[in-house]
């Protein structure tokens, strides 16, 4: 090949090379725009397939939590496979195994109780599917889940106790409506409350029993407490608002005034709790935020794209009193 042909061939090759590079660059730019939700442009929300195992619908809080998960999935274009465990761990374990068989990208789970998850979480890990705990912790080795998104239940218990100390002036007999036995919030709210009141010898918990986070059970248990202790009861500490509302009904049926004759502090900050405070029947509610859907899917996206996330992402929460209730109620979404 003479020099002219070599030069001509080299020029043609250079033009083709530059054109190919320009084409690749255009493709990369287009992908980057399409996947603008992800820094490295690997996976977008609309590519995600997420399995979510919910506890059930035991309270208004849980209903709000489920609505937040479903609404966020729809808004973001995520394919969500949702399972209602109906308050049974065996249903949740079965759902997680189904998600594994379906090869979802991420599994979200709100564990009904803390223990008994090791085997199924290990199965998910072996399948390469990350697990995100939402709202409730699981008592498993940290390598079996990616992150926990949810509240500091111990601090919620502490805050409830601090409010109770102020309401009672550091002295009084308290009955406690505990959440679902073995669940993370029940365990932690129980411990956090006691951590504070141990410094007040005049404050005693004279009875403690599970109301299973439901209004009906809260009313039943409070009725039993009233039959046993009657006017001895100075206050009620309820692990959630639904049980507190059940207790209010029992106190009224007994002939006493909730919020006055018997002080009541509960946790969750659902709409009905604000109405109860407006009505003078509830003295305070400690917020536990259920609207975790957007944060959950943001975490899921980061995880599948290989980003490092904290092991625990706590929710931001407040304490509400009757004087706040009328103004705040219209803004509540659950």
Sign of the torsion angle spanned by Cα atoms 88, 89, 94, 99: positive
φ, ψ dihedrals at 15, nearest 5°: -60, -45
Output the pLDDT for position 225. Answer: 98
Domains of the chain: 45-151+290-316 (3.40.50.2300), 153-288 (3.40.50.2300)
| Tokens 């709100």 belong to residue | 110
Hey, which residues does 52 pair with through a beta bridge?
A: 82, 108
Q: How many CA atoms lie within 13 A of 242 on its CB side?
A: 20
Low-confidence ranges of the chain (pLDDT < 70): 1-41
Give the SS3 label for residue 132: strand
Q: Mind listing the pLDDT tens digit for each residue in 22-57?
A: 333 333 222 222 223 344 458 999 999 999 999 999
H-only helix segments in the chain: 3-34, 60-76, 89-101, 118-126, 153-168, 184-197, 215-229, 241-254, 271-278, 293-304, 322-328
Q: Which residues are CB-neighbours of 29 under 8 A, at least 6 positions away?
A: none
- Distances in Å between the alpha carbon of 195 and those of 136, 154, 159, 171, 293? 21, 9, 10, 16, 31
**C-alpha span between 216 and 212 (Å, rounded):** 9
Output the pLDDT for position 315. Answer: 83
Output the pLDDT for position 134. Answer: 97
Output the pLDDT for position 42. Answer: 82
């Amino acid at each position: 090949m003479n020099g002219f042909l070599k030069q001509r061939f080299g020029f043609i090759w250079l033009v083709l090379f530059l054109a190919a590079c320009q084409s690749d660059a255009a493709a990369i730019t287009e992908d980057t725009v399409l996947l603008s939700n992800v820094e490295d442009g690997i996976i977008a929300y609309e590519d995600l397939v997420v399995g979510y195992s919910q506890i059930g619908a035991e309270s208004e809080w849980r209903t709000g939590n489920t609505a937040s998960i479903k609404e966020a999935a729809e808004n973001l274009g995520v394919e969500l496979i949702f399972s209602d465990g109906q308050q049974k761990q065996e249903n949740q374990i079965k759902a997680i195994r189904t998600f594994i068989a379906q090869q979802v990208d991420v599994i979200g789970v709100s564990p009904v109780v803390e223990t008994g998850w090791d085997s199924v979480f290990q199965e998910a890990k072996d399948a390469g599917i990350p697990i995100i705990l939402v709202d409730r912790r699981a008592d498993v080795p940290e390598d079996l889940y990616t992150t926990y998104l949810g509240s500091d239940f111990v601090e919620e218990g502490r805050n409830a106790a601090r409010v109770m100390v102020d309401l009672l002036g550091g002295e009084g007999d308290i009955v406690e409506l505990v959440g679902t036995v073995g669940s993370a919030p029940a365990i932690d709210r129980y411990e956090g409350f006691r951590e504070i009141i141990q410094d007040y010898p005049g404050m005693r918990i004279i009875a403690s029993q599970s109301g299973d986070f439901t209004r009906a059970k809260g009313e039943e248990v409070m009725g039993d407490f009233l039959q046993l202790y009657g006017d001895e009861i100075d206050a009620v500490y309820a692990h959630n608002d639904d049980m507190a509302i059940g207790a209010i009904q029992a106190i009224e049926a007994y002939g006493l005034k909730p919020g006055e004759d018997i002080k009541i502090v509960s946790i969750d900050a659902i709409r009905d709790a604000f109405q109860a405070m407006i009505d003078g029947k509830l003295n305070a509610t400690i917020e536990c935020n259920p609207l975790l859907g957007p944060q959950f899917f943001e975490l899921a996206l980061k995880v599948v794209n290989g980003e490092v996330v904290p092991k625990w992402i706590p929710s931001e929460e407040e304490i509400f009193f009757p004087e706040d209730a009328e103004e705040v109620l219209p803004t509540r979404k659950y």
